[in-house]
């Protein structure tokens, strides 16, 4: 059996290293030297491939934000009935979160650091979340009286809160409740279905 050596290109090594360091320490906490060490290369190479810390950060941030947002849209804009949409959203979203548990706190945090910049960076990148259609769908269901009266915006915020927050507050929850990595995963795995039913139970007539 041949020993397969996957020669990652330098650029990929840098991106992988930068991702790890930026996500765990944030834009300010990350040091270019840390990234270089993590990638096993010289610091000057970072500047050879990506001109500055900010440029490098932007690449990582946009990649992260795109992972966080686009799936939302495909569901938001589909033609599924409301309950199915909610179930789908929770299932898919929690799956992405579990594969990238540090993503939400990274993205949310960097948005807070500089909201203006965030809009500029993500706007036009076609991955900006567009919940309009989803909101209208809720509005319609309320008017048809097929679900209880609720503000569409509130329902959206609830849906997102229940999906994302546990990952943003992962360390806090683990500290307070006392869950190890495995237990946390198990709880989240179960929540894929539970959140959806929790929401549906609340609005079903």
Residues forming the site for its own copies (CB under 8 A)? 25-26, 28-29, 105, 108-109, 111-113, 115, 118-119, 128-129, 131, 148, 150-151, 153-154, 157-158, 160-162, 164-166, 168-177, 187, 190-191, 194-195, 198-199, 201-203
Q: Does 30 bind DNA (CB under 7 A)?
A: yes
- Residue 170's contacts (CB-CB under 8 Å, 6 or more residues apart) are 101, 105, 184
In the list its own copies, DNA, none, the entry touching 33 (Cβ below 5 to 8 angstroms by class) is DNA
What does the buried/exposed string (b/e) look like for 93-113 if buried means 16 or more CB atoms within 10 Å of the residue's CB? Answer: bbebbeebbbbbbbbeebbee
Structure tokens given for 39: 């990638």
The residues in 41-60 that bind DNA, with binding defined as CB under 7 A, are 41-45, 47-48, 51-54
Cα torsion angle, 99, 101, 102, 106, sign: positive
* Of 14 and 168, CB closest to its own copies: 168
Which one of 8, 31, 185, 204 is in contact with DNA (CB under 7 A)? 31
- Residue 158's contacts (CB-CB under 8 Å, 6 or more residues apart) are 199
What residues make contact with DNA under the rule CB under 7 A? 10, 30-33, 41-45, 47-48, 51-54
């Amino acid at each position: 059996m041949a020993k397969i050596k996957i020669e990652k290109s330098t650029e990929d090594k840098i991106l992988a290293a930068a991702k790890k360091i930026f996500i765990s320490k944030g834009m300010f906490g990350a040091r270019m030297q840390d990234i270089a060490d993590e990638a096993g290369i010289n610091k000057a190479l970072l500047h050879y491939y990506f001109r500055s810390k900010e440029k490098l950060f932007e690449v990582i941030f946009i990649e992260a934000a795109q992972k966080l947002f686009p799936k939302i849209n495909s569901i938001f804009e589909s033609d599924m009935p409301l309950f199915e949409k909610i179930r789908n959203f929770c299932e898919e979203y929690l799956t992405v979160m579990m594969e990238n548990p540090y993503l939400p706190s990274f993205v949310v945090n960097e948005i807070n650091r500089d909201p203006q910049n965030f809009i500029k960076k993500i706007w036009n990148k076609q991955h900006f979340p567009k919940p309009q259609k989803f909101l209208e769908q809720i509005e319609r269901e309320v008017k048809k009286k097929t679900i209880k009266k609720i503000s569409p915006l509130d329902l959206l915020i609830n849906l997102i809160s229940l999906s994302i927050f546990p990952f943003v507050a992962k360390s806090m929850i683990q500290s307070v409740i006392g869950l190890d990595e495995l237990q946390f995963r198990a709880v989240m795995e179960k929540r894929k279905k539970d959140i959806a039913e929790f929401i549906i139970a609340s609005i079903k007539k």
